């Protein structure tokens, strides 16, 4: 329950949520299961100590109406979107190491069940991950689950399927504008050596003296992602420069190869 992020929710939005839960949703009879946590984690008062040390400052505004794009994006990402709960690295107490953009650790990438979660610090025009994405690329990814170069995978699939694909275009644009304003880590903007890509493409195209990995790629992946690794816009994700391929941990990539990737069908981009 990402309540440190929810401290940011404006008072009038919180009232709207209350009204929705109390009057807009039909009640059901439901008894929550007893917690299976062992002592001392089963003790709720223990959270007092965690809150003392790690909780984010409580600073909700009265209203978030009429904010300019980047500020509205900041409000949505840091509060209701709680994007940092997966995209910000966690510390020793499992706390997020930053809760807003005043720290360069904020949204700098994390790890979730062994699957690495990419950085969302996107300022720039060319570089790894979303640094090389345009504002529209981010809007498409969040609203449709796919864009010119990528398709959602892992835990991000349910974020898009159940939340982001229901957002308005103007909120998605505000989020994208905010992410494009965050300065990325130096490594993410380092230019890729062009010659390495050219050599790989030339070797795969010639098809001689291939290593086992290269041969397996051509036989099993090349038909869709191509020898260039560029794929096809909105259909086959680009593997060259993709966060999942560049990540230090191979778990996401291995899982995708073994179990497949299933981009959700969204109302902005239907799939049957
Ligand atoms: C439940 C955890 C979780 C939450 C919450 C979450 N994400 Fe993600 N996100 C992921 C994972 C995991 C990936 C990597 C997906 C992959 O490997 O294909 C990802 C990928 C992304 C990417 C693609 C980046 C790239 O380089 O390929 C964007 C953009 C993104 N998330 C934006 C957001 C935004 C904006 C929010 C908040 C509204 C958010 N995410 C909340 C887990 C999460
Ligand atoms: C028949 C076409 C096809 C083949 C063959 C194929 N892929 Fe894909 N791949 C896709 C599609 C389409 C997606 C997007 C997910 C979706 O829409 O279901 C995808 C997604 C991915 C992703 C996730 C990208 C991300 O950003 O999360 C990776 C990684 C990937 N493929 C790697 C591979 C590898 C490695 C192989 C060979 C072992 C391979 N693919 C073979 C079509 C293909």
Q: Dump pLDDT digits (tens) for 55-87.
A: 887 888 899 999 999 999 999 999 999 999 999
Q: How far apart are CA 243 and CA 127, in angstroms?
A: 11
- Among 92, 64, 78, 77, which Cα is nearest to 4's? 78
**pLDDT category, 115, cuts 50, 70, 90?**
confident
| Nearest CA-CA partner of 105 in 90, 94, 124, 93 | 90
Q: Cβ < 6 Å from ligand 1: which residues?
A: 77, 81, 83, 85-87, 112, 115, 117-118, 120, 129-130, 138, 141-142, 150, 152-156, 159, 175, 243-244, 252
pLDDT per residue over 3-14, tens digit each?
A: 999 999 999 999
Q: Is the pLDDT of residue 37 over 70?
A: yes
pLDDT exceeding 70 applies to what percent of the chain?
A: 99
190-232 pLDDT, tens digit per residue, is 776 677 788 889 999 999 999 999 999 999 999 999 999 999 8
Burial 160-180, CB ≥16 within 10 A → b, else e: bbeebbebeeebbbbbbbbbb
Q: Which residues contact 270 (CB under 8 A, 6 or more apart)?
A: none
Minimum CA distance residue for ligand 2 atom 32: 257
pLDDT at 272: 60
Instruction: Please give the Cα distance from 107 to 117 (Å, whole number).
Output: 10
Question: Atom 9 of ligand 2 has which residue's CA nearest to it?
Answer: 236
The span from the CA of 15 to the CA of 9, in Å, is 10
Q: Using one digit for the tens of pLDDT, what is the confidence trace for 158-190?
A: 999 999 999 999 999 999 999 999 999 888 877
Round the average pLDDT of the chain to a whole number and report it. Answer: 91
Are 111 and 118 in contact, with CB atoms under 8 Å apart?
A: no
Measured in Å, residue 209 CA sits from the centre of ligand 1 at: 38
């Amino acid at each position: 329950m990402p309540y440190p992020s929810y401290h940011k929710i404006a008072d009038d939005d919180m009232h709207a949520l209350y009204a929705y839960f109390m009057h807009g949703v039909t009640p059901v009879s439901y008894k929550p299961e007893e917690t299976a946590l062992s002592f001392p984690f089963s003790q709720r008062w223990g959270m007092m100590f965690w809150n003392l040390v790690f909780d984010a400052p409580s600073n909700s505004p009265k209203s978030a109406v009429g904010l300019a794009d980047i500020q509205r994006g900041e409000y949505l990402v840091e509060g209701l979107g709680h994007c940092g709960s997966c995209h910000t690295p966690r510390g020793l107490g499992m706390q997020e190491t930053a809760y807003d953009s005043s720290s360069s650790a904020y949204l700098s990438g994390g790890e979730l069940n062994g699957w690495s979660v990419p950085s969302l610090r996107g300022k720039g025009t060319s570089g790894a991950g979303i640094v090389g994405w345009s504002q529209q690329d981010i809007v498409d990814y969040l609203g449709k689950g796919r864009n010119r170069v990528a398709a959602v995978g892992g835990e991000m699939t349910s974020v898009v399927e159940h939340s982001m694909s229901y957002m308005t275009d103007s909120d998605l644009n505000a989020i994208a504008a905010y992410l494009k304003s965050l300065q990325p880590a130096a490594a993410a903007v380092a230019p890729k050596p062009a010659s390495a890509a050219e050599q790989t493409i030339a070797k795969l195209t010639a098809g001689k003296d291939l290593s086992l990995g290269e041969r397996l790629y051509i036989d099993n992946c090349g038909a869709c992602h191509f020898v260039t690794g560029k794929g096809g816009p909105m259909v086959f994700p680009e593997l060259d420069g993709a966060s999942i391929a560049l990540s230090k941990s191979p778990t996401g990539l291995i899982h995708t190869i073994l179990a497949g990737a299933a981009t959700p069908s969204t109302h902005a981009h239907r799939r049957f």
